[in-house]
Amino acid sequence: MPVGRLDRQKLLGQKGCVIWITGLSGSGKSTLACALSRELYSRGCLSYVLDGDNVRHGLNKDLSFKPEDRAENIRRIGEVAKLFADAGIICIASLISPYRRDRDACRALLPEDTFIEVIASVNLSHSFMNMPLEVCEARDVKGLYKLARAGKIKGFTGIDDPYEPPSNCEILIQQKDGLCPSPAAMADQVILYLDRNGFLQG
């Protein structure tokens, strides 16, 4: 008899899921993903971060940034994330993933309640909702916005390609009294959700 999902969850002492962090380039997705991964590790939980950068250098290196390739990029990452979750791992997907239909398709791949979409109104995913695009541009260490504005990158989200915010999300991270929470505080908010919903127990 093969080892099943419940067996793996019992072995790891946690339930596999996908935490999908989405937003504009420079909005802080990777900051949350790293802080969350570190906090899960300190609690003895196994997680893995799928970041737009690490996936595009290997699995998706054959894809461009054209709309159809962006959709295929997200589809492939959704399939990999599903495998991680099935293995009992907490998979943290940190991606721009600008199109709602692509994120919804990834959600549909997983058992109910195991796809957790995280948005934030400031300094993280969906930061453009309450934070000017100029702030993301100012934080752009890779210089991508500058290249997009110069016409050297076509179809850049936030410049000449749209971003579609989720219609529903499980976790909203936002400013408090005009201040952004620290990376550790944001990670703690996600951890609290995971704990309350039984993901940190096998």
Residue 122 reports pLDDT greater than 50: no
Query: Which residue in 30, 47, 97, 121 is the catalytic one?
Result: 97
- Residues 133 and 144: their CA atoms lie apart, in Å, by 13
Residue 79 reports pLDDT greater than 60: yes
Q: Is 127 a catalytic residue?
A: no
> How many separate helices (H) and strands (E) can be counted in the chain?
8, 5
Determine the average pLDDT of the residues in 80-99. 94
What amino acid occupies position 61?
A: K
pTM, entire model: 0.87
Highest mean pLDDT among 40-54, 111-125, 129-143: 40-54
Instruction: Provide the pLDDT for residue 178.
Output: 66
- Residues 148 and 145: their CA atoms lie apart, in Å, by 5
The CATH number that domain 5-191 falls under is 3.40.50.300
Residue 126 reports pLDDT greater than 50: no
Determine the average pLDDT of the residues in 182-193. 92
